[in-house]
Structure 1
Amino acid sequence: MYTSFDREDLNKALETLKSGGLILYPTDTIWGIGCDATNEEAVAKIFALKGRDIGKSMIVLLHNDNQLASYVNDIPEVAYELIEYTEKPLTIVYSNAKNLAANAIAEDGSIGIRVVKHPFCEQLLQRFKKPIISTSANLSGEPSPKSFADIDDAVKQGVDYIVEYQQDEEGDGKSSTVMKLDPSGKFVFLRK
């Protein structure tokens, strides 16, 4: 399903993240705008680019569920099972986020986290050693792009690096399933 990617492409994306810049990149769902999820200034740039309400939280990507404890205080045991056995991309909203940029976290202290299964994202996250913001590559209020060709030029011009990997591939335009999971293990689907 996935083609191989160029190491130079990965290195440029990595350097952009390290310098506090924004990247436009393919994920396991749709194309996203990303940055260092621990860098408040970088997260603020995404809000400005999208024209998004600052009260809205962002999704954070990790490459491994072992990293969850670094960014969430109370993780219900069922979270690990959900991550392991889900077949579709699943974003879980956890209470009590920590060690992330304050403006990436929702006003109620929660954060949406997805453990990705995508070769480029996994490599980027492993090498960056920090979580990355992932928000749809569109201006606020506009539809999410199905593929790279659908991304607004204003978004393309507003980022510091555009990943070359998968630009020519047609996406399905499907976002992840989103589930809110409280520390007791109770859950509710926010988006199926």
Structure 2
Amino acid sequence: MSSLPLSISESIAALRRGGVIAYPTEAVWGLGCDPFDEGAVLRLLAIKQREVAKGLILVAARRAQFDGLLDWSGLPPDRVAAADASWPGPNTWIVPATSRVPRWITGEHTGVAVRVSDHPLVIALCEHFGAPLVSTSANLAGEPPAFSREALDPRLLAQVDGVAEGETGGLSAPTAIRDALTGSVLRL
């Protein structure tokens, strides 16, 4: 494995090969892979030491990248409007998932956590990949998230396929997570 900096094209090539990369997000460094590649997702979960039952966040460059994955019809119109008004930006919403979202993404939940990012590198990765990516904090389960490249755990770096070049967006806390059905805040 390598912790050498990856360009956008090298990051995309790694993702297409079923790789797991570390990359900066709005607040913390994240781990990402192709959400539809079960082997890649299970490897990411093993690297992070996270249970599949907890589910994972999907991040996209634009809302249309979630077409066919989210059941917006299961939400009141004002909740859909609230999610749309918060994007792009550091706001994650749990939205009812369609049957196209694999169980290794939703875990034990019926919804899926999704975010339309405003981070330039995340946008570029999702646009060049042509689909949403998994986005989970780049830390071992139970340990604090890495707010800088230097804070990434060497044990984690030894297992990923590379680290995308870039910096976090500078937020002081991980992105907020809200339930789109109720509007309740699950993480602030």
- Structure 1: which 4+ aligned runs deviate by more than 6 Å? none
Q: When the two structures are superposed, what TM-score results if normalisation uses the length of structure 1?
A: 0.85
Query: What does residue 137 of structure 1 align with?
Result: 138
* Paired residues of 1:61 and 1:115 also in contact (CA < 8 A): yes
What are the residue-to-residue correspondences of 1:119-158 with 2, within 5 Å? 119-158=120-159
Cα deviation for residue 173 of structure 1 reads 4.2
1:188 paired with 2:181, answer no
* Structure 1 residues 74-99: Cα deviation after superposition (integer angstroms, max 9, x where no partner): 35344553344338510000123442
Structure 2 counterpart of 1:64, one-letter code: R
Q: 1:66 & 1:79 partners in 2: Cα distance?
A: 17
**Structure with greater contact order relative to length (CA < 8 Å, sep ≥ 6):** 2
* Paired residues of 1:34 and 1:132 also in contact (CA < 8 A): yes
Q: When the two structures are superposed, what TM-score results if normalisation uses the length of structure 2?
A: 0.87
Query: What does residue 12 of structure 1 align with?
Result: 10
Q: 2:187 & 2:165 partners in 1: Cα distance?
A: 29
Cα deviation for residue 66 of structure 1 reads 2.1
Structure 2 counterpart of 1:156, one-letter code: L
Query: What does residue 114 of structure 1 align with?
Result: 115
* Paired residues of 1:65 and 1:80 also in contact (CA < 8 A): no
- State the SS of the aligned residue for 1:187: coil
Structure 2 counterpart of 1:86, one-letter code: S
Cα deviation for residue 51 of structure 1 reads 0.9
1:100 paired with 2:101, answer yes
Q: CA distance change for structure 1 residues 21 and 151 in 2, over 3 Å: closer, same or farther?
A: same
What are the residue-to-residue correspondences of 1:31-50 with 2, within 5 Å? 31-50=29-48
* Paired residues of 2:65 and 2:131 also in contact (CA < 8 A): no
Q: After superposing the two structures, state which structure 1 stretch, 77-86 or 38-47, moved more.
A: 77-86
Q: 1:112 & 1:170 partners in 2: Cα distance?
A: 20
- State the SS of the aligned residue for 1:133: strand
Where do 5+ consecutive residues of structure 2 fail to align? 1-5
Q: How many equivalent residue pairs?
A: 180
Structure 1 counterpart of 2:86, one-letter code: T
* Paired residues of 1:146 and 1:170 also in contact (CA < 8 A): no
* Structure 1 residues 18-41: Cα deviation after superposition (integer angstroms, max 9, x where no partner): 111001001122110000011111
